[in-house]
Amino acid sequence: MNRRVVVTGLGAITPIGNDVNEFWEGIKSSKCGIDNISLFDATDFKVKLAGEIKNYDPEEYFDKRSCRRLDRFTQLAIIASKEAMKDSKISEENTDMERVGCIISSGIGGIKTIEKENQAHLEKGPDRVSPMYIPMSICNMATGNVAIELGLKGESLAIVTACAGGTHAIGEAYRLVKHGYQDAVLAGGTEASITPLSIAGFTNIKALTQETDKTRASIPFDKERSGFVMGEGAGILVLEELEHAKKRNAKIYAEVVGYGASSDAYHITSPAPEGEGGARAMINAIKDADIKPEEITYINAHGTSTHLNDSCETSAIKKVLGEHSKKVMVSSTKGNTGHLLGAAGGVEAVVCAKSIEDNFVPPTINYKVPDEECDLDIVPNEGRNIEVKYAMSNSLGFGGHNSSIILKKYED
């Protein structure tokens, strides 16, 4: 059984907007969400910048008890999921909730809670560790709490594949709906890892930039790039079987037509030479979509602003698209948001859906110095008003995980 799968709901909370409309306007206006770290005292840290969510007060969204019992990564997932579900207008009245699933990725999970409770253990002893420590910190609790909050009784999964996780979640949700296991799935990613331990760990593995200029820190494909900027947030989509959506007269943003995944089987942090593994994920997505490479209008690249990622992803795109790689538009929106790890694929899929809806290709912002290793059309600094028929989103993760999805402009 192969059924058509469409996107009927979007939700996001990001460093440049606390809902989808604000986020998308930030993308269109080239807004940069990179700023000085305020979530903890970074005085003694080499890394000073991050992509934090602005003006976020949990008590505007949750009661005081929930604020204490939900780690920040779960809070963000619930906020974006509620927005996506409200946008889709799925309800118990028009949908069998036992056939609505939930797949939300997080690369790090509740690291804020882990740090806090470890400190309590060291300073006050084991009896002072909160009984909520485990249910607040484990990665599946974003999915679990969203399912509880929204009454989603279908398949409930948490995919943990580092920075590829958000796209894997959407891809696996697409398969569940396509092959008839679910009528709809809420899918995407969430992350809240701007914490002392997380920043220190990523700094010491040489992944983060130590740049202090906010406009020159997250600069994908720029020759002066020196590492990624940690971001936080959540991006969620509602994927739904087409006939089910039409029966409800649902708004359709785009159709999901292709998904590909692969493993580098090469190194724990470095991509395979010339992006060989990422290329296979893209090839698999194109085959699944049953289209020609030259039909792709826009690629939202993983584009992390690290030397290896950006050069290897460029090589991969050239390998997959051949001559069309000279024409396809390829931008990274991590210049706007920083790198949201397990949430990146979810947020960037929202970008692709809105790009298709609005016929607008987002720019790669703050770009100054061309790199001969990254010589694609990266839509530098200024977005373009152009029809987007097929948009691809790539996500690549530590451990050699690769995932790509393809969205298409919906045609009845």
Q: Point out the residues that are catalytic.
A: 163, 302, 339
Q: Where are the alpha helices (DSSP H) in 299-409?
A: 307-321, 334-337, 344-358
Please classify residue 355 by burial: count the beta carbons closer than 10 Å to its beta carbon, then call 0-12 exposed, 13-18 middle and 19+ buried. buried
- How many Cβ atoms sit within 10 Å of the Cβ of residue 188? 37
Phi, psi of 395 (to 5 degrees): -140, 135
Q: Yes or no: say if 53 and 233 are a contact pair by the CB < 8 Å rule.
A: yes
Cα–Cα dist 380/330, whole Å: 10
The residue type at 247: K
**In terms of Cα–Cα distance, which of 236, 242, 213 is closest to 225?**
213
Question: What residues have CB less than 8 Å from 74, skipping those under 6 apart?
Answer: 110, 136, 141, 142, 145, 190
Least Cα distance to 321 among 394, 231, 235, 400 occurs for 394
Structure tokens at 275: 């992006």
- Give the C-alpha separation, 313 to 277, whole Å: 10
Measured CA to CA, the distance from residue 267 to residue 176 in angstroms comes to: 30
- 330-306-188 Cα angle (round to 5): 60
DSSP string, 2-71: ---EEEEEEEEEBTTBSSHHHHHHHHHTT----EE--SS--TT-S--EEBPPSS--GGGTS-HHHHHHS-
CB 12 within 8 A of CB 76: no
